[in-house]
Structure 1
């Protein structure tokens, strides 16, 4: 329920006129044996489930009209889908061992609103604007959502002298990769951050093997601290333009202490970069 409320507020920002009356959401059933296909009136730009026991897959490279839903046994959750034109669709999703329906053809009338918030009254139409601009506002909200979401891509962690650096999640959305990073200070000394950077390393072949490192510049940083005090854990997000790497390359997340020697390099396999959540 918490995930449902947050996702709806985060992406819907949606038509306030429809928010005046309660919306009854339809239920879609799925299981882990068959694919349930959802066909939408416009290509899918984004699809999010509120729980990890539900998986909604769709073509992130080339927008298409359908997505596939699967589920594992567990509590009910919700599915939020945004079409290319900004139309928002929301459903309750439940696990069911025996499925009566495998295909859903969803009409435009099932949209609960549009992600571009517009308020209409008797005298004028007011467009909801943010001082930071729509793009930065979107990054902020989506990063905040990812930090709260309990989803992991795998065990990617490095320790050194009480400092633990880990990648909690890597998420692909639109044309960006979101790296959810955690810094944990288990030592008795505060950790003053000098820099935190992400690079891609390439192994050079030949007799004299070497590493070539290429720095990846984030387009947005969320919740980056200057200090991690003792016994504190900080989560942050780096947003980078989408990229992929071959199996002879790897990403490296590097953290450096200001006026200190606690330096960590976390190696990230190509399979995590090429298969984000």
Structure 2
């Protein structure tokens, strides 16, 4: 009994943190085996009363254990997986069982026996870095939208919807694509997506084109709708890259539930020589 008491004492703090959580109840009896399948192999399993028995492979860790019960007062079952995840349940005797198999998800874990302090610190540092980057992107994008600098030739239109690539700016390790869309049509424009891809022109007798989508790091003021006679300006922040002579950028504007789509091709020269 002493090892059991030591184990229970070791994890009592975890139970204190989860005391407000309502524990699920598992029913068992002495004529059938109730199987519990866990997301990780079982390292330890303990019941709080002798009229409940939880058996599992102690020599070779496996994902399941078997629960049986004799008639008596309810108790509890504590299971610790190989990765330290802790699961706790109320166990009760029931003569007639309606459920013989329980598949336990990781989300049912009430905690972990080893606090991941290092991981928490790393996560906090990472989140702080993300917050600082987002703040900088927002400030620099606002600065660029206050400026008026146009590349000139990059304007495309379709049925009164006009897309213009105003500027490409390099800063630190990112490229900022400043884009303007004007709706001169008689219908509102619902934006489905605006994708930026790199298109490669394959050489040879059978010429072909391949496109590789680039995920923006940050989107500033991207609209979901452009109403009639409205002009919107927004920015895509992309990771820094350069292009060879056989590649170019494709900006693809797509309308939701419509056909006023626009495709703009941007030369590698503007990507390799941004403002």
**TM-score, length basis structure 2:** 0.52
Aligned partner of 2:158 in structure 1 is: 160
Q: CA deviation at 1:193?
A: 0.4
**Which of residues 189, 199, 202 in structure 2 aligns to 1:201?**
199
Aligned partner of 2:220 in structure 1 is: 222
Q: How does 1:148-187 map to 2 (within 5 A)?
A: 148-187=146-185
Partner Cα separation in structure 2 for residue 148 and residue 192 of structure 1: 25
Provide the secondary structure at the position in 2 that maps to 1:133. Answer: helix
Question: Structure 1: which 5+ runs fail to align?
Answer: 1-129
Q: CA deviation at 1:134?
A: 1.3
Partner Cα separation in structure 2 for residue 191 and residue 132 of structure 1: 32
Change (3 A) 1:154 1:272: farther
Partner Cα separation in structure 1 for residue 174 and residue 265 of structure 2: 20
Partner Cα separation in structure 2 for residue 191 and residue 233 of structure 1: 11
Q: CA deviation at 1:247?
A: 1.4
Q: CA deviation at 1:238?
A: 0.2
User: Which structure shows the bigger proportion of residues in helix conformation?
Assistant: 2
Question: Structure 2: which 5+ runs fail to align?
Answer: 1-127
Q: CA deviation at 1:246?
A: 1.0
Partner Cα separation in structure 1 for residue 215 and residue 257 of structure 2: 24
Of the two structures, which has the highest relative contact order with CA contacts closer than 8 Å and spacing of 6 or more?
1
- Number of residue pairs the alignment of both structures matches: 148
Q: CA deviation at 1:144?
A: 0.7
Where does structure 1 differ by over 4 angstroms across 4 or more consecutive aligned residues?
none
Aligned partner of 1:103 in structure 2 is: none
CA contact (8 A) 1:221 1:238 kept: yes
Partner Cα separation in structure 1 for residue 129 and residue 204 of structure 2: 53
Partner Cα separation in structure 1 for residue 221 and residue 137 of structure 2: 12
CA contact (8 A) 1:251 1:268 kept: yes
Partner Cα separation in structure 2 for residue 215 and residue 132 of structure 1: 23
CA contact (8 A) 1:185 1:229 kept: yes
Aligned-pair RMSD on alpha carbons? Answer: 1.4
Question: Deviations for 1:180-212, whole angstroms, at most 9, x for unmatched residues?
Answer: 000110101000000001001000112211100
Provide the secondary structure at the position in 1 that maps to 2:223. Answer: coil
CA contact (8 A) 1:200 1:251 kept: yes
Q: How does 1:1-277 map to 2 (within 5 A)?
A: 133-277=131-275
Q: CA deviation at 1:155?
A: 2.1
Question: Deviations for 1:238-275, whole angstroms, at most 9, x for unmatched residues?
Answer: 00000010111110100000000111100101111011
Partner Cα separation in structure 2 for residue 228 and residue 245 of structure 1: 32
